[in-house]
Amino acid sequence: MAVEIKVPPLGESITEAVVGKWNKKPGDAVSADEPLVVLETDKVTIDVPAPSAGSLSSIAFKEGDKVRVGEVLGLIEAGAGAPAAKPAAAPAPAAAPAPAAEAPAPAEARSTPTARKVAEENRVDISQVKGSGAGGRVHKDDVLGQLNRPAAPAAPAQPAGPRPNAAREERVRMTPLRKRVAERLVQAQSTAAMLTTFNEVDMGEVMALRKKYNDKFQQKHGVKLGFMSFFIRASVEALKAFPQINAEIDGEDVIFKHYYDIGVAVSGSRGLVVPVVRNADKQGLAELEKSVGELGTKARNDKLALSDLQGGTFTITNGGIFGSMMSTPILNPPQTGILGMHNIVDRPVARDGQVVIRPMMYIALTYDHRLVDGREAVQFLVRVKECIEAPERLLLDV
């Protein structure tokens, strides 16, 4: 008995995916619930398990094909590794003679004289106009409607001929995740009034705190004390002081969010993703480090669920782990703020009238100027700076 392998529900508003990889080929034995095929959506990858034990008898879609929810990906012949049973081919029915193709009616017969005159004056190909009259007859209003219809968006320019260095190039189809990232970046730049402001932070106090307590912290909590937990806590304190940066524009309304779900940009196996740390204001440093670590591991192993990526209120991205000195991060719509961390560099700075060497980090806040004024953006960064340079403030809530 054949069992269908169907595309499962992919999550809210997601209707299609791309077949990323088949773990089996036709004829292979499969076990029940064994990961059979990997589907890639614009947000996550999903393992589709085998609905029953048996052997994979057929595959309906190859790797790279688009599939929709509910479509049959292939068939399993039920049984413990039973070989695929091929049904006997039924004799093909005699082909019926093809009907003679009807000659299309001439334009004069399927359009009115007035319609033809308007089409000629405006250089419209009347054979391409859909008629609203009986039998599809084209009237004057049909031609005018064609003229007033907005032009379809131009297709991306295609190469006019073979690329001169094609032998030394490789063409790879863009993944759904990368396409979605590209769409969202363009969306952010076209729908928000983005502006970025900068500040610098002396990381000396946090680094000294880590050095002093990291071993004991790790022994007690089973996780290292990193910088991200400090910046999440500092950001939450700043968001409480400046709620516009934890808000969202919805039409003519502003939605102020009285919860703090902080997205943390991490590198997954297929690119940058932004899983969300829920209720960050209710978590201590140890809980935050564990949450970030677990989400990072899931991202690298393609185990993030859609729920891990949805509903963030503010985002933090750390380009410093790759060596970035300064950048202008792009908003993650519909959020109105994103904080960029960068690398820590020993630099000469003035302290108490003397030049000293301190571990410094540039930080950046990109914000939606439609909702956030420059004053609030600058003060937000100052608040983050104060919390990092005096980390005891995070514990004393001052």
Q: Which residues are catalytic?
A: 369, 373
Q: Where are the beta strands (DSSP E) in 270-394?
A: 271-273, 276-277, 314-318, 337-341, 344-351, 354-368
Instruction: Name the residue among 4, 143, 149, 176 with its Cα closest to residue 76.
Output: 4
Task: Give phi and psi for 286, each to the nearest 5.
Answer: -65, -45
Helix (H) or strand (E) holding 37: strand 35-40
Per the listing, tokens 């599939």 go with 67
Q: Where are the beta strands (DSSP E) in 122-275?
A: 194-202, 247-250, 253-256, 262-264, 266-268, 271-273
Query: Residue 149, class by beta-carbon neighbours within 10 Å (0-12 exposed, 13-18 middle, 19+ buried)?
Result: exposed
Amino acid at 77: E
> What is the widest separation between alpha-carbon atoms in the chain?
99
Neighbours of 120 (CB within 10 A): 11
Structure tokens at 4: 């269908």
Helix (H) or strand (E) holding 285: helix 285-300
Structure tokens at 388: 């990092």
